[in-house]
Amino acid sequence: MNKISAVIITYNEEKNIARCIDSVRAVADEIVVADSFSTDR
């Protein structure tokens, strides 16, 4: 069976990242988050 990787590119998404990760967790075998020099946490 094929595996699915999700790549999430973010910039100042502290308030939304948890919800975004939760939304792909059920379908992705791997989740990669790449931050673009955010100024939030």
Q: So what's the pLDDT on residue 41?
A: 84
Q: Distance between CA atoms of 14 and 28, rounded to whole angstroms?
A: 21
As a three-state string, the secondary structure of the chain is CCCCEEEEEECCCCCCHHHHHHHHHCCCCEEEEEECCCCCC
- Whether the full predicted model's pTM is greater than 0.85, yes or no, is no
Residue 14 lies in a domain: yes
Structural domain of residue 10, as residue ranges? 5-35
**Structure tokens given for 9:** 């590119």
Q: How many structural domains are present in the chain?
A: 1
Over the chain (41 residues), the average pLDDT of each successive run of 10 is: 97 97 97 97 84
